[in-house]
Amino acid sequence: MTTEITETVARPRGRMQSNLASMAKRQEVGLVGLLIVLAVVINSINDRFLTTTNIYNLLQTVTVIGIIAVGMTFVLIAKEIDLSVGAVLALSAVTAGSLYASGVTPWLAVAGGIGAGALSGLVVGAVVVFGRVSSFIVTLGMLSIARGLTLLITGGLPQQMPDTLSFIGQGRVLGGLPVSVLIFVLLVLVGQFVLTRTVFGLRVVSVGDNATAARLGGIPVARTRILTFVLIGALAGVAGIVFSTQVGVAEAQAGTGYELDVIAAAVIGGVVVARSSGPSWVPACSACCATPSSCWGCPRSCSSSASAW
């Protein structure tokens, strides 16, 4: 009888230890640990780094990269790549600014900007699928086209964003949480749900794992690939609206160099391209690691600029 009781007590303990050991091996645990170490080291250099105001400022910087990284997760899992996200971000922002300047209501201007990003993704997806051209080449071309269009639309001059939309990039809720961070978190949760709990998400994984088997299984491979590019284009548009409302203007050079940061956020976050797998929420953490060095490497400038928000 005593032996049975001992085994009953030991069994849950063994299961718990096994679960903890399995959790400790997960990549996201290492990412969180890396973030903690970085934060402690930088705070030892500048004790203002871990202040509430500076953390909110850092989160706002991470938000733009993280929003696009959610879409990049889908693209990479489908075994494609998008190098045009920075230019599409700028195109979406200046489209919204130009529409507002022409007399369109602010929210319709926002819809037009996001629509411009989705349309760019649709064009890329159509060329990749029906033209049978590598997504690397197509998106590299779209990068130049979108950047050229932003210069053509703006003439190189910044476009003023509506004051009524400033709360998207500068507003705060729930005791100081930036609205842009709240949008980011919601998009991460929706992205995780879509990837793991919907037919579209399962199709993306299947297409990336084995496109031939997916096609024989009745999955519309072409449509799925096109929709992944439309998704990342739309999210780049959302990021463009967030970025432009943070600074108050839409600039033609916005988002320059963001492509590598976004890809790094997705890959560091656990997207395994070779196996076409990976969670969509982990890039939310890894975006902090891929954030430009202006905040991680130079805590003094980051802390001193925090008061501007």
pTM of the model: 0.81
What would the pLDDT profile of 216-243 be if each residue is shown by its tens digit? 999 999 999 999 999 999 999 999 999 9
Task: Write down the pLDDT at residue 265.
Answer: 86
Among 201, 301, 306, 257, smallest CA distance to 65 is for 257
State pLDDT tens for residues 78-113. 999 999 999 999 999 999 999 998 888 989 999 999
Structure-token pair, residue 218: 């009745």
pLDDT at residue 299, rounded to an integer = 39
For 270, which DSSP code? T
Check whether 166 has a pLDDT greater than 60: yes
pLDDT tier, 150 (very low <50, low <70, confident <90, very high otherwise): very high
Determine the Cα–Cα distance for residues 154 and 100; give it in Å rounded to an integer: 13
Lowest-confidence pick of 93-107, 169-183, 222-236, 278-292: 278-292
Residue 307 scores a pLDDT above 50: no
CA 262 vs CA 75, 76, 135, 239: distances in Å: 12, 11, 16, 12
Cα separation, 185 vs 239, in Å, equals 13
Residue range 23-48, pLDDT digits in tens: 555 656 777 777 788 888 888 888 88
